Amino acid sequence: MAKDKKYNSLKLKLSNWFVAKNINNDEHNVKTCSLEKASLVGITFAATTPKDIDIIKKINSELTLKGIKTSVLGYIPEKKPNDFYLSEKTFNFFYDKELDWLLRPNSESALEFQSTEFDILIDFGSISYYPMQILLSKSKARFKVGQFLENSPFDLMINHKDSHNLKYYFDQVVHYLSKFN
């Protein structure tokens, strides 16, 4: 992945070796769920611009208006994030200083998110960052949705060309999740 270049290559190799041994995808019992029947939805995204946060806020509001409880976790791929991100109190965030030496998220909010059994977890492109690959792979969510990617932890993958258009991607997620009973 292109975003992996920001991480130390030795750390990435060590982390891949250690983490791969601890992720057992056989334990993941997939339970499909439509958005209409979901009571708890997890949302992950990479907070790279203030615009990303605004779009995720709107998507979160749409889900809340449907009576769905949500939990949102943003990854800020920086060592010292801009105060703008941290002033957002609606979502939880973690950033590079909150990674252990194997590049695994170790903030309280990230670990709590990872252990939550969401009905549906929707990733908005954060999988392209290595720490999020780990978090999403180890997530206890029953049904994981994300963008198409080989060897991904997702149960439903949506392939769309414009990976920067989060609203269009969300519309596609809603469309496909409405097909489940």
Model confidence pLDDT, tens digit, residues 43-85: 999 998 888 899 999 999 999 999 999 999 999 998 887 776 6
Please state, in angstroms and rounded to a whole number, the distance separating the CA atoms of residues 155 and 94.
Answer: 25
Residue 90 has a pLDDT of 84
What one-character-per-residue DSSP string does 7-60 give? S-HHHHHHHHHHHHHH--GGG-------TTT-SEEEEEEE--SHHHHHHHHHHH
Chain centre to alpha carbon of residue 96: 15
Read off the pTM: 0.86
Chain centre to alpha carbon of residue 84: 20
Mean pLDDT in the chain? 85
Give the CA count within 13 Å in the CB-facing half-sphere of 85.
Answer: 20
Question: How confident is the prediction along the chain (181 residues), in pLDDT tens digits per residue?
Answer: 445 556 767 766 766 665 565 555 556 688 999 999 999 999 999 998 888 899 999 999 999 999 999 999 999 998 887 776 666 778 999 999 999 988 899 999 999 999 999 999 999 988 889 899 999 999 999 999 998 887 788 999 998 766 568 888 999 999 999 988 7
Please state, in angstroms and rounded to a whole number, the distance separating the CA atoms of residues 64 and 3.
Answer: 31
Domains and CATH numbers, the chain: 40-177 (3.40.50)
Q: Which residue has the tokens 């977890």?
A: 121
Write down the H helix ranges in the chain. 9-22, 50-65, 83-87, 108-115, 130-138, 166-177
